[in-house]
Amino acid sequence: MDITNIMPTLETTIAKFRNKEAFIGIVGLGYVGLPLMLRYMDSGFRVIGIDIDAEKVDQLNAGKSYIEHISVDSIRGAITAGFEATTDFRRAGECDALILCVPTPLNKFREPDISFVIKTVDALQPFLRAGQVISLESTTYPGTTEEELLPRVQSAGLQVGANIFLVYSPEREDPGNQDFETRTIPKVVGGHTSSCLEAGKALYEQAIDQVVPVSSTKAAEMTKLLENIHRAVNIGLVNEMKIVADRMGIDIFEVVDAAKTKPFGFTAYYPGPGLGGHCIPVDPFYLTWKAREYGVHTRFIELSGEVNRAMPEYVVSKLMDGLNEAGKALKNSKILVLGIAYKKNVDDMRESPSVEIMELIEAKGGKVAYADPHVPVFPKMREHFFELSSEPLTPENLSSFDAVVIATDHDRFDYELIKQHANLIVDSRGKFREPAAHIVKA
């Protein structure tokens, strides 16, 4: 490749980012795209948001937020500063960078579903032009950028690395984490070529404090998977130890708290009712699926996945044990599930194990309800739906249920009130350490 054909386009592209003259397009305005949009606006860039969801677009343009931890004031400030959202993919042609933040779930066979990525790139493809940087942030298996994005980007006659630049930079958002924000979370970036990497670094260095370059898009894709598989495997380990400890009459939460006082060689992970969120329950299966193409069977990763997927059933079995001790069956019992977001203090319900617990209770004939201050009405989900609203946690209401299941330990719950007025508590989060006749540890 003639370097004289690369350098003017690359230098011009880099200069646009460094001078903050570039127009940034964020494609997908969810838990990843929306904070990224706000960060680029705060950094002095012009930004447009593109999403297929007309309702989201209308809310943003009206200055409203549909994500709890993103304030209305921040959205209104972005609108005042020039941000706009649209469903019109033709606007992509105006952008100097297109950052893709779309879902990558699993299908019903627990295999990667990258249809959102492919459909998004296909919709953008007619409007791609020379000088643009295309960055995929969605979690996916190693090889996606090369195998799926590269041929689509080049199908319009553009040459990646010469006049258009392709990178992968995995999102690392952690909703509800007060210790980090988009700006302060280091950004891993891999480029298809060295020129792509330089363009990707220029894109992100203006908005993120630390950019971490790696040798390829595959290395960046694998980095994201390792981060979350590390967590999934360790959570699987502690969930299995919870079951063993319970049989032995040992409080696993006490054990973890004691173990974490060791100042080296141990990282504390706590058990729970299963895995939630878009990353940890999903990412291991992206790697195990791709590894089979190379003749590798990822036994360790898959075993931890089996343990974690069994946790909702374990919680329901402990609920049934508690009801049996009280002379009741789960069938026709009224059960209140406390917390349906996947983690504490957020409204994010992606892959929440609480929902599976609710479905299991209902399938066994229980009458299920929920309470969650962060989710006032059960939302529309791709695979799950309950026509329910959050129950008030009053003494009278708590005592009207045969059992309450602590599935997500929000700080806004009044645990003393719950302890005093619930007939039976099934605690999957270790909120009640002192033994009591009406508390079952799960």
pLDDT in tens, 224-245: 999 999 999 999 999 999 999 9
pLDDT at 6 over 90: no
Query: How much is the pLDDT for 103?
Result: 93
**What backbone phi and psi angles, to 5 degrees, belong to 25?**
-110, 125
User: Residue 194: which residues within 8 A CB-CB, separation 6 or more?
Assistant: 161
CA distance 405 to 385: 19
**What backbone phi and psi angles, to 5 degrees, belong to 409?**
-90, 65
Coil, strand, or helix at residue 431?
A: coil
pLDDT at 384 over 90: no
Query: How much is the pLDDT for 2?
Result: 42
pLDDT at 223 over 60: yes
Query: How much is the pLDDT for 270?
Result: 96
Helices within 62-205 (DSSP H only): 72-80, 115-124, 144, 150-154, 194-205
CATH topology of domain 216-309: Rossmann fold (3.40.50)
Active-site residue, 279 included: yes
In this prediction, residues 312-331 reach a mean pLDDT of 97
Tell me if 213 sits within 8 A of 183, measured CB to CB. Answer: no
Question: Token pair of 277, please?
Answer: 């969120």
Q: Are strands 187-191 and 165-168 parallel, antiparallel or unpaired?
A: antiparallel
pLDDT at 382 over 80: no
Return the percentage of the chain with pLDDT > 90, whole number. Answer: 89
pLDDT digits (tens, 9 = 90+) for 131-181: 999 999 999 999 999 999 999 999 878 999 999 999 999 999 888 788 899
User: Residue 220: which residues within 8 A CB-CB, separation 6 or more?
Assistant: 167, 168, 169, 170, 188, 189, 190, 214
Tell me if 414 sits within 8 A of 393, measured CB to CB. Answer: yes
Query: How much is the pLDDT for 281?
Result: 82
**Cβ burial 327-347 (10 Å sphere, 16+ → b, else e):** ebebeebebbbbbbbbbebbb
CATH architecture of 310-442: 3-Layer(aba) Sandwich (3.40)
Query: How much is the pLDDT for 4?
Result: 38
pLDDT digits (tens, 9 = 90+) for 410-442: 999 999 999 999 999 999 999 999 999 999 999
Query: How much is the pLDDT for 425?
Result: 98
CATH superfamily name and code, 3-215: NAD(P)-binding Rossmann-like Domain (3.40.50.720)
**What backbone phi and psi angles, to 5 degrees, belong to 24?**
-100, 130
**Can you give the pTM of this predicted structure?**
0.91
In this prediction, residues 175-203 reach a mean pLDDT of 94
Count of residues for the chain? 442
Average pLDDT, the chain: 94
Nearest to 328 by CA among 395, 424, 399: 424
8 pLDDT band, cuts 50/70/90, is: low
User: For 12, what's the count of Cα atoms within 13 Å in the CB-facing half-sphere?
Assistant: 12
Residue-range domain boundaries for the chain = 3-215, 216-309, 310-442
